[in-house]
């Protein structure tokens, strides 16, 4: 996405800033946009496989990651058509709003899974402020959609990485305990 912004910074610097999806409808940036979303989805699917612990916590993290992949897939696919007419635009905005709300709920759940809450609380606030700004941008109150989406993504990514790391460590310990017990 950084290369896409460098190729076409106008979407971020414009008075009425567009969202990340602006980069998916232009020839100059569509391939990089698609690649960024594909890498995001593949990375999350890989992380879901890495959360192979046997506990309920591991299963919930796996479900969250796979649900996130599905939501991002719908946003990605709707990107290519949203500029064709108003109905497709609102469908895309709907998928985007669902993704923003999903990420906020996921961020809160991820935050609740962590025991070291001082830094996690800050990451949660970053995510929630970004999501609020994104939703207000969808509604036309603000015009900072790209920045809001990026800020929201950073907050959620921090919480997700820490929770997945913890879940992976628990899975490794479970395998070690089962191996010792056998």
The sign of the torsion formed by the CA atoms of 93, 150, 24, 162 equals negative
Cα–Cα distance measured from residue 148 to residue 163, given in angstroms and rounded to the nearest whole number: 23
Give 169's pLDDT tier (boundaries 50, 70, 90).
low
Residue 10 placed within a domain: yes
The predicted model scores a pTM of 0.80
Residue 16 placed within a domain: yes
Residue 182 placed within a domain: no
Question: Phi/psi zone of residue 51: left (φ > 0), alpha (ψ -120 to 50 degrees), beta?
Answer: beta
Residue 73 placed within a domain: yes
DSSP letters for 77-144? HHHTTTTT-HHHHHHHHHHHHHHHHHHHHHHHHHHHH-S-HHHHHHHHHHHHHHHHHHHHHHTTS--B
Residue 94 placed within a domain: yes
Query: What's the total number of domains in the chain?
Result: 1
Cα–Cα distance measured from residue 81 to residue 79, given in angstroms and rounded to the nearest whole number: 6
pLDDT, tens digit, 9 for 90 and up, residues 55-71? 677 888 889 999 999 99
| Domain region containing 35 | 2-177
């Amino acid at each position: 996405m950084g290369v896409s912004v460098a190729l076409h910074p106008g979407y971020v610097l414009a008075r009425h800033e567009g969202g990340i999806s602006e980069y998916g409808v232009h020839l100059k940036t569509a391939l990089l946009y698609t690649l960024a979303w594909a890498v995001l989805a593949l990375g999350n699917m890989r992380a879901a496989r890495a959360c192979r612990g046997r506990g309920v916590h591991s299963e919930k993290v796996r479900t969250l990651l796979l649900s996130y992949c599905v939501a991002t897939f719908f946003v990605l696919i709707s990107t290519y058509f949203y500029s064709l007419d108003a109905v497709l635009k609102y469908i895309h905005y709907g998928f985007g709003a669902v993704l923003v709300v999903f990420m906020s709920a996921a961020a809160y759940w991820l935050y609740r899974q962590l025991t070291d809450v001082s830094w996690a609380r800050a990451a949660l606030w970053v995510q929630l402020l970004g999501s609020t700004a994104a939703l207000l941008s969808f509604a036309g109150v603000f015009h900072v959609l790209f920045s809001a989406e990026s800020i929201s993504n950073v907050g959620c990514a921090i919480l997700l990485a820490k929770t997945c790391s913890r879940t992976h460590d628990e899975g490794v310990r479970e395998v070690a305990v089962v191996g010792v017990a056998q």
